[in-house]
A and B are shown apart, each in its own frame.
Chain A
Amino acid sequence: MDIRIQKSEFLRGLRLAQNIADRKSTMPMLANVLLRASGKNELLVAATDLNISLSAELGSQNESEGGLTLGAKALYDIVASMPDDEVHLARRENNWAEIRAGKVRYRLAGMPDRDFPQVPTTDDVSFSQVSAKTLREMIDKTLFSVCSDETRFHLNGVFFESDGKTACMVSTDGHRLSKIERSLEAPALSAGIIIPKKGVAEIKRSLDGGGDACELAVQTPAQHQTPHFYLRTGTITLAVKLIESEFPPYDQVIPKENKRRATIDRGIFLDALKRAQLMSSETRGVKLALEDEKVEVAGDNPDVGEVHEELPAACEGGKLAIGFNPKYVVDLLSHMDAEQVHVELGDELDPCLIRPAEDPSYLGVVMPMRI
């Protein structure tokens, strides 16, 4: 194996690969990237942590074909520090790599490419082209409420549904939930899939680099394959192994007909909650009191002090006092971009629905705290 490649082209693959390569694994090979030169102009860069795999097809000039694996982080740092635009990489005896640019020459110990785990292939899945921007927005607005308690793996991801025209993403940690629907021409799915949190974060990272076009594909469990979600941006493909579990029946807990509704300026509400947070804690909660023309936000903490604030609001359905973990409401409001939000409430122990006034297809549900 002996190749020449543009530094920027090489980095395009290595940057993503070194994120995925898993240095903490007990399998040392997973800390490496796979480099495989084939034909005259193709270099495959691949990395995997066995759950998320990346393969980038890069353009190169190959003197000779062949493959090798090298430490992902080290290789990225070396290439990024090279003075010249063109990088020359060649395999030497005993899996040593010689990496040169200009007058700089590195030798890096590698491992043979045949020991690298098989990266999922995309041969028998069909990709659909979707808007990267929309996909990104959907991720942004749901990723924050994924459960991070690893023992509850069915909640450790974003639930994704698609009928071919509209896609929906939902996430919940058992206390709050966020749900977004957008028109997206993703492959139609007969059932929803759960994409693990870390995979969603990598998908987001891949989308950050590419343009507005991306393709996605889903290998569902029904097809007797390890189910995967695939994202292709240009010549880079990300394969995320799905969580094979049952997502809770989220639709049942989204209140449909809440009797009370307060319409509040989102920015003012958010700032008030953040102020109340200073006098509260996740274990103490803040109180909201709905009056006719206003909502009162109050927090008190015997160790610190207390706070009261009145916000102008249009309230319907009668008075109510209710408590929340302020973090949950703050998280939700910060992921909305509307000017006004509707806060829809039942009684003090019923789930509360928050949605942007102008966007009926994004919503959050927060369970109250009895305080």
Chain B
Amino acid sequence: MGPRVSADEHREDPADSAGAIEVLPPEMIDQIAAGEVVERPASVVKELVENALDAGATHITVDVEEGGKRLIRVLDNGRGMSAKEAELSLRRHATSKLRSIDDLFSLSTMGFRGEALPSIAAVSNLAMITRRRDATAATRLAVQAGAIAERREVGAPVGTQIEVADLLHNVPARQKFLKGEATEASHITEAVSRLAMAHPEVHFRLRHGSRTSIDAPRAKDGLERAKKLLGARAGADLHAVEGYEQGVRVRAYLASPARAQTTARGVQLFVGRRWVRDRSLLHAVVMGYGELVPKGRYPVAVVFVDAPGERVDVNVHPQKLEVRFSDQRAVCAAVRHAVSRAVSRAPWVEGALDVGAGSLRMEPAGGGARASEMAARYAEARASALGPADRPAQGERRGLSEVAFPVAPRGEQVGPSPAEGGAPNRGVIGAGGRGGAERGRVARAPGFTPASDPVPERDHRPAENWARVTGDVASDESDTGDVPAASIDARAGEASISATGPMPASSAGFAFSDLTYLGQLERTYLVCEAAGELVLLDQHAAHERVVFERLRERYQDRKIPAQALLFPRELDLEAGERASLAEHADTLAGLGFDMDLTDEAASLRAYPADLREHELEKALSELAGDLADRGGSRAVEERSDRAIATIACHGSVRAGDQLTDGEVDALLAALDETPRRTHCPHGRPVLLRISVAEIARRFGRT
């Protein structure tokens, strides 16, 4: 049967066709329909692989040439088709998967429209070889320009192989919209990777020419598959969570917030086994991570949502890339809660904290690019500041402290006045009289041992260098670029490196209160010593996290302490800010504010005791923004969290604040009791750990 009839008799002279209504030739109808399904080579791959999955295949191999523009070949070991079925499969709206419209809501297959194969065939040269298990021979069909050009019996294994060549060759207008080979190839990798993510029981292979891009053997569960596909780094700290709420089941594999990226690409959402894009679900995941992921960044997370069939409409997008829920809110809430519950337990936090003494990796604990940048800057600063100084003799504390805290002279600092007659300030932590005090503190620090104390021999291991660390972290960024193919390959390579590499030495709990505090650097960082490593804390980030968690707990109990004022205080706020605050009077009251807001003025009678009084105005004007209901897209709890983070920020010690030993001790003790303590509420890291082994290496001692 030749499904296509020549359309010539429908054509009229273009001269008198202007404005006339005419019936499109079937060939064009097919090409237009194909446009909906076949957007680019990756969409063909997706349709063909879905068909293979629907046919019950356990091995699927995809080969592409020239980014799929030249050739796409999908081979499966599924149930195959008889000769008759094979022909039918090329007919529009021919499907074995849907019998009644109600079936749409109880689908167990990826396909249901009977549209994919004919659409693809309309815009390519398609060849199919397929054999059912009960058949002795396979059928080969070749379609050219929409019509079956060849039909014969051939010998072939059970299953189906479909080759799609010269995609869009007969629709030049659309062909020209295809991107370069690398881009199309990367889209294909992404498409296969998404399908593989949702089908861990199937062995997937993808080859670009002779290069294997994905080889994912049957995995025992989704976590194993996710680890495989995300690569060694992001995969290593994936944490599996499950949740069930109002009939919605959520299964997710969450990476540490430290993996956060600048694009949403790292968030993979699946409804059933279908990859979807869905802004509200994405938002729910990001919200679940809360403030651990800084504004404008996205976590790496794989999330599967299962809702009863009748609550999901899968037939809303030609490529089935979107779905519609009858109860969007419930689904989002379930996702948000599952993610946030898991995140608050911060499973990867202990991991980050447990990077043991002398471990190979100097892990700037989190913060992605920022942390790496910080690490790099820090390393540079150290390298140039330390110079060739040899290790000080043991016990030479004063000398050590001077070496340990060199500070570049700051332009605006006034040198010691000659009248003071003192020895020139050696730049010990800032200028002025502080040097002496800090020195005293170092000498006083109990249990202080100079860094030259012998490090236990077992801790000496070949250390990675800073460049490696920073390069490493920086390459996170490339994940967000447009070439996932390359990065998956790179990850695969790395998997073997870190699999053979030594694991962190210590897994005993890391306690902040066990740190020996050495002193303050630039009144911003707390320099501490732990067994075999130097630990730097960002004092503001650390305190902010402590205050935030404490406030959040008290907010839930409506127990935020509020300090009343003797005289009501007039605040200088803009009309818009006053309006936004007035609208959220309840939340504000819960946060500890007692204020009168009118059209003209804002006057304050009580405020949260944690807030620094001189930052009241600033905090309130930020709160007005935090609480503003931007089109209702933000959940109430997210807004209150933001508000609490703002209060915490304005209630914490700042960079530049001098801390007493007592304050530092209290802070360290409080950190141990605080969840999510490795990052501040805005997602910046709290601590940076540098092993003595690394320091030794930098001194050329290993």
User: What residues of chain A have their CB less than 8 Å away from a CB belonging to chain B?
Assistant: 23, 31, 71, 73-74, 77, 149, 151-152, 172, 174-177, 248-250, 253, 282-285, 302-304, 323, 325, 349, 351, 365, 367-371
User: What residues of chain B have their CB less than 8 Å away from a CB belonging to chain A?
Assistant: 417, 419-421, 550, 559, 561-567, 569, 592, 606, 609-610, 613-614, 651, 666, 669-670, 673
Q: Please name all residues of chain A whose beta carbon is closer than 8 Å to the beta carbon of B566 when the two chains form the complex.
A: 172, 174-177, 248, 250, 253, 351, 365, 367
| Closest residue on chain A to residue B569 by CB atoms | A174
With the chains together, A365 CA to B564 CA distance in Å? 12
A108 to chain B, nearest CB (A): 9
Contact of A73 among B420, B564, B614 (CB under 8 A): B420
With the chains together, A71 CA to B420 CA distance in Å? 10
B420 to chain A, nearest CB (A): 7
| Closest residue on chain B to residue A108 by CB atoms | B419
Contact of A370 among B417, B564, B651 (CB under 8 A): B564
- Asked if residues B417 and A284 are in contact (CB atoms below 8 Å), the reply is no
Contact of B565 among A74, A174, A282, A285 (CB under 8 A): A174
With the chains together, A151 CA to B566 CA distance in Å? 17
Judged by DSSP, the binding face of B is: mixed
- Asked if residues A367 and B417 are in contact (CB atoms below 8 Å), the reply is no
Q: Please name all residues of chain A whose beta carbon is closer than 8 Å to the beta carbon of B669 when the two chains form the complex.
A: 303-304
- Asked if residues B609 and A369 are in contact (CB atoms below 8 Å), the reply is yes
- Asked if residues A371 and B561 are in contact (CB atoms below 8 Å), the reply is yes
- Asked if residues A284 and B609 are in contact (CB atoms below 8 Å), the reply is yes
If A71-B419, A149-B614 touch, does A175 touch B673 (CB 8 Å cutoff)? no
| Closest residue on chain B to residue A371 by CB atoms | B561
15 residue pairs bridging A and B, Cβ less than 8 Å apart: A73-B419, A73-B420, A77-B421, A174-B565, A175-B563, A175-B565, A248-B567, A282-B609, A285-B609, A303-B673, A325-B563, A351-B566, A368-B564, A369-B609, A370-B561
Q: Please name all residues of chain B whose beta carbon is closer than 8 Å to the beta carbon of A249 when the two chains form the complex.
A: 567
If A174-B613, A284-B609, A303-B669 touch, does A370 touch B592 (CB 8 Å cutoff)? yes
With the chains together, A349 CA to B609 CA distance in Å? 14
| Closest residue on chain B to residue A172 by CB atoms | B566
Query: Which 4 pairs of residues, A with B, have the shortest CB-CB distance?
Result: A74-B419, A367-B564, A370-B562, A71-B419
Q: Please name all residues of chain B whose beta carbon is closer than 8 Å to the beta carbon of A176 when the two chains form the complex.
A: 566
Max chain A C-beta neighbours (<10 A), residue from B420, B567, B569, B666 = B567
If A369-B562, A370-B561 touch, does A151 touch B614 (CB 8 Å cutoff)? yes
| Closest residue on chain A to residue B608 by CB atoms | A283
With the chains together, A71 CA to B417 CA distance in Å? 10
Judged by DSSP, the binding face of A is: loop
Q: Please name all residues of chain A whose beta carbon is closer than 8 Å to the beta carbon of B420 when the two chains form the complex.
A: 73
| Closest residue on chain A to residue B669 by CB atoms | A303
Q: Please name all residues of chain B whose beta carbon is closer than 8 Å to the beta carbon of A149 when the two chains form the complex.
A: 613-614
With the chains together, A77 CA to B419 CA distance in Å? 10
- Asked if residues A284 and B561 are in contact (CB atoms below 8 Å), the reply is yes
| Closest residue on chain A to residue B611 by CB atoms | A283
| Closest residue on chain A to residue B671 by CB atoms | A303
B566 to chain A, nearest CB (A): 5
With the chains together, A304 CA to B566 CA distance in Å? 30
- Asked if residues A174 and B567 are in contact (CB atoms below 8 Å), the reply is yes
With the chains together, A152 CA to B567 CA distance in Å? 13
- Asked if residues B561 and A285 are in contact (CB atoms below 8 Å), the reply is yes
| Closest residue on chain B to residue A325 by CB atoms | B563
With the chains together, A304 CA to B513 CA distance in Å? 13
B13 to chain A, nearest CB (A): 84
| Closest residue on chain A to residue B559 by CB atoms | A371
- Asked if residues A369 and B563 are in contact (CB atoms below 8 Å), the reply is yes
Q: Please name all residues of chain A whose beta carbon is closer than 8 Å to the beta carbon of B614 when the two chains form the complex.
A: 149, 151-152
With the chains together, A349 CA to B561 CA distance in Å? 12
With the chains together, A367 CA to B562 CA distance in Å? 10
| Closest residue on chain B to residue A26 by CB atoms | B414
| Closest residue on chain B to residue A350 by CB atoms | B564
| Closest residue on chain A to residue B564 by CB atoms | A367
With the chains together, A304 CA to B420 CA distance in Å? 44
- Asked if residues A283 and B609 are in contact (CB atoms below 8 Å), the reply is yes
- Asked if residues A369 and B567 are in contact (CB atoms below 8 Å), the reply is no
- Asked if residues B550 and A302 are in contact (CB atoms below 8 Å), the reply is yes
Q: Please name all residues of chain A whose beta carbon is closer than 8 Å to the beta carbon of B592 when the two chains form the complex.
A: 370
Q: Please name all residues of chain B whose beta carbon is closer than 8 Å to the beta carbon of A152 when the two chains form the complex.
A: 614
| Closest residue on chain A to residue B414 by CB atoms | A24
| Closest residue on chain A to residue B670 by CB atoms | A303
If A149-B614, A302-B550, A369-B609 touch, does A349 touch B421 (CB 8 Å cutoff)? no
Q: Please name all residues of chain A whose beta carbon is closer than 8 Å to the beta carbon of B666 when the two chains form the complex.
A: 303
B592 to chain A, nearest CB (A): 7
| Closest residue on chain B to residue A323 by CB atoms | B561
With the chains together, A310 CA to B443 CA distance in Å? 42
- Asked if residues B419 and A367 are in contact (CB atoms below 8 Å), the reply is no
With the chains together, A283 CA to B613 CA distance in Å? 12
Q: Please name all residues of chain A whose beta carbon is closer than 8 Å to the beta carbon of B565 when the two chains form the complex.
A: 174-175, 367
With the chains together, A303 CA to B666 CA distance in Å? 9
Contact of B563 among A23, A31, A367 (CB under 8 A): A367
Max chain A C-beta neighbours (<10 A), residue from B420, B651, B669 = B420
- Asked if residues B673 and A302 are in contact (CB atoms below 8 Å), the reply is yes
Q: Please name all residues of chain B whose beta carbon is closer than 8 Å to the beta carbon of A367 when the two chains form the complex.
A: 563-566
With the chains together, A167 CA to B340 CA distance in Å? 62
Q: Please name all residues of chain A whose beta carbon is closer than 8 Å to the beta carbon of B421 when the two chains form the complex.
A: 74, 77
| Closest residue on chain B to residue A249 by CB atoms | B567
With the chains together, A74 CA to B418 CA distance in Å? 9
With the chains together, A155 CA to B693 CA distance in Å? 55
B410 to chain A, nearest CB (A): 16
With the chains together, A171 CA to B149 CA distance in Å? 100
With the chains together, A37 CA to B566 CA distance in Å? 52
| Closest residue on chain B to residue A366 by CB atoms | B566
With the chains together, A220 CA to B199 CA distance in Å? 86
Q: Please name all residues of chain B whose beta carbon is closer than 8 Å to the beta carbon of A284 when the two chains form the complex.
A: 561, 609
With the chains together, A169 CA to B669 CA distance in Å? 42
Q: Please name all residues of chain B whose beta carbon is closer than 8 Å to the beta carbon of A174 when the two chains form the complex.
A: 565-567, 569, 613
| Closest residue on chain B to residue A71 by CB atoms | B419
Q: Please name all residues of chain B whose beta carbon is closer than 8 Å to the beta carbon of A370 when the two chains form the complex.
A: 561-562, 564, 592, 606
Q: Please name all residues of chain A whose beta carbon is closer than 8 Å to the beta carbon of B419 when the two chains form the complex.
A: 31, 71, 73-74
B663 to chain A, nearest CB (A): 11
A366 to chain B, nearest CB (A): 9
Contact of A23 among B417, B550, B559 (CB under 8 A): B417
- Asked if residues B673 and A349 are in contact (CB atoms below 8 Å), the reply is no
With the chains together, A73 CA to B422 CA distance in Å? 13
With the chains together, A304 CA to B662 CA distance in Å? 14
- Asked if residues A283 and B561 are in contact (CB atoms below 8 Å), the reply is yes
With the chains together, A250 CA to B666 CA distance in Å? 37
Other than A174-B613, A284-B561, A370-B561, give 10 A-B pairs with Cβ distance below 8 A.
A71-B417, A71-B419, A74-B421, A283-B610, A302-B673, A304-B669, A323-B561, A325-B609, A369-B561, A369-B609
| Closest residue on chain B to residue A24 by CB atoms | B414
Q: Please name all residues of chain B whose beta carbon is closer than 8 Å to the beta carbon of A325 when the two chains form the complex.
A: 563, 609
With the chains together, A38 CA to B265 CA distance in Å? 84
With the chains together, A281 CA to B592 CA distance in Å? 17
Q: Please name all residues of chain A whose beta carbon is closer than 8 Å to the beta carbon of B550 when the two chains form the complex.
A: 302
Q: Please name all residues of chain A whose beta carbon is closer than 8 Å to the beta carbon of B610 when the two chains form the complex.
A: 283
A295 to chain B, nearest CB (A): 20
Q: Please name all residues of chain B whose beta carbon is closer than 8 Å to the beta carbon of A151 when the two chains form the complex.
A: 614
With the chains together, A303 CA to B546 CA distance in Å? 10
With the chains together, A172 CA to B613 CA distance in Å? 14
| Closest residue on chain B to residue A282 by CB atoms | B609
A326 to chain B, nearest CB (A): 12
B109 to chain A, nearest CB (A): 54
With the chains together, A43 CA to B652 CA distance in Å? 51
A20 to chain B, nearest CB (A): 16
Q: Please name all residues of chain B whose beta carbon is closer than 8 Å to the beta carbon of A283 when the two chains form the complex.
A: 561, 609-610, 651
Q: Please name all residues of chain A whose beta carbon is closer than 8 Å to the beta carbon of B673 when the two chains form the complex.
A: 302-303
Q: Please name all residues of chain A whose beta carbon is closer than 8 Å to the beta carbon of B670 when the two chains form the complex.
A: 303
Q: Please name all residues of chain B whose beta carbon is closer than 8 Å to the beta carbon of A248 when the two chains form the complex.
A: 566-567
With the chains together, A77 CA to B651 CA distance in Å? 42
With the chains together, A284 CA to B592 CA distance in Å? 12
| Closest residue on chain A to residue B565 by CB atoms | A174
A364 to chain B, nearest CB (A): 11
B454 to chain A, nearest CB (A): 36
